[in-house]
Structure 1
């Protein structure tokens, strides 16, 4: 299953999903998120399910403006062996975004210089 979601316009993310299913209920997800707006972070995520049951995945990608990209990842877990991860990247200003990138993505500072 290949999902290629392309948001056109400045400041909106480009998302490429490549889901490899290695068995019953064991999805391997490789997410490559690239921003063309401020900061330009590149994130590679590898989430592997350890349970036989399929994980419930809710993706909510909302970009309100150029300076306020907001991404919510909600991987709801049905059992104790499955991880539940909530990522909220919300920035209200360029300075806060730069500090946030310095803390979470040190390699992204090269694109801002």
Structure 2
């Protein structure tokens, strides 16, 4: 069974905004896209660079280094130069809080 960790109140991540969470071995980005929350690795599969400052356009996040784009819902590649998907993680919202899959378990 998947363990979850509380990361924020729903209102702490406004639509179009993001929040970062650091686990022992990985940093993730929690994104609010029109009231829906998604969690992705802060890692471009093209060159292992961070996606942290990449522009978010709908469900697409662009790597600020070389322009690769990924679907935040699935991790799928939407634009080269990346050819491999990025990791995505489970998110749930309960009682006004956002929870993400616990990667330290």
Structure 1-normalised TM-score? Answer: 0.30
More helix, by proportion? 1
Structure 2-normalised TM-score? Answer: 0.32
RCO higher in structure (CA 8 A, sep ≥6): 2
Larger Rg: 1
